[in-house]
Amino acid sequence: MYKYIKSALDRVCAALGLIVLAIPLLLIALAIRCESRGKAIFKQVRTGLNGKEFYVYKFRTMWRTDVPFDKDNPVIEDDNAELTPAGKILRKLKIDEFPQLINVLRGEMSLIGPRPFMPVYYEQYANWEKERLSVKPGMSGLAQVSGNGYLTSEERSYYDIYYARHLSFFTDVKIMFKTVGVLLLGEKKFLKPVSVADMEKMKGGESADKAA
């Protein structure tokens, strides 16, 4: 039942969020433009629900936007030379993701769901990993509150697929609260490596025992 009303709830929350945050978001965009040349918001092609491609929006946090993405190491370190001073702060607080409220409002994303990757990385997935595309991508997800950058690529896929198979309102609420915890305490505090047994079950199409 929840999956049928999730999209409507997402859009209502996204609309309210954009209204409430309108002035802060405009000030952030202005600060980015004043600090460095280029657009404050950039868009990038990502793979969404059922493999459909769409443009995801983010605040620009780097001097350039064509930095290669590493599927196995998706988290850009704070000392990366490509990050602008303001960009380091925006990334640390995850504020660079806020423009994706537009994607949620348009129905391309959800507030909670697997993070969307570029199409080139979707093509590298094993067949079992593609199940993560059975739900809309999200601004935050189970993998992001289970260690994210400290997880392997397969572990992130595990959590994404576990979420897709156990989608519920209470799971989404739990992830929202954990997202706040990650912002305050850091990803490592919430690290939960996946056991070999659970990983093998997931790859075999079985229901794994537990997630976060």
> Does a structural domain hold residue 22?
yes
Residue 177 exposure: Cα atoms within 13 Å on the Cβ side: 6
- pTM for this prediction: 0.86
Read off the tokens for 28: 């952030």
pLDDT digits over 63-91, tens only?
A: 765 555 555 555 555 555 678 888 888 88
pLDDT of residue 29: 95
> Does a structural domain hold residue 52?
yes
Read off the tokens for 67: 């930095």
Q: What share of the chain is helix, strand, coil (3-state, %, to 5)?
A: 55, 10, 35
> Does a structural domain hold residue 210?
no
Q: Domain range spanning residue 179?
A: 2-203
> Does a structural domain hold residue 212?
no
Task: Please name the residues in contact with 37: beta carbons below 8 A apart, sequence gap of 6 or more.
Answer: none
> Does a structural domain hold residue 211?
no
| 3 state SS for 4-46 | HHHHHHHHHHHHHHHHHCHHHHHHHHHHHHHHCCCCCEEEEEE
> Does a structural domain hold residue 208?
no
Q: How confident is the model at residue 114 (pLDDT cuts 50, 70, 90)?
A: very high
Task: Please name the residues in contact with 144: beta carbons below 8 A apart, sequence gap of 6 or more.
Answer: 115, 175, 179, 182, 187
Rounded Cα distance between 90 and 17, Å, is 17
Distances (CA, A) of 202 to 42, 122, 162, 190, 198: 35, 18, 8, 21, 6
- Give the pLDDT mean for 13-39: 94
Q: How confident is the model at residue 208 (pLDDT cuts 50, 70, 90)?
A: low
Read off the tokens for 8: 């409507």
Q: Report the domain count for the chain.
A: 1
**What's at 15, amino acid-wise?**
A
pLDDT digits over 142-184, tens only?
A: 999 999 989 999 999 999 999 999 999 999 999 999 999 999 9
> Does a structural domain hold residue 113?
yes
> Does a structural domain hold residue 112?
yes
pLDDT digits over 180-197, tens only?
A: 999 999 999 999 999 999
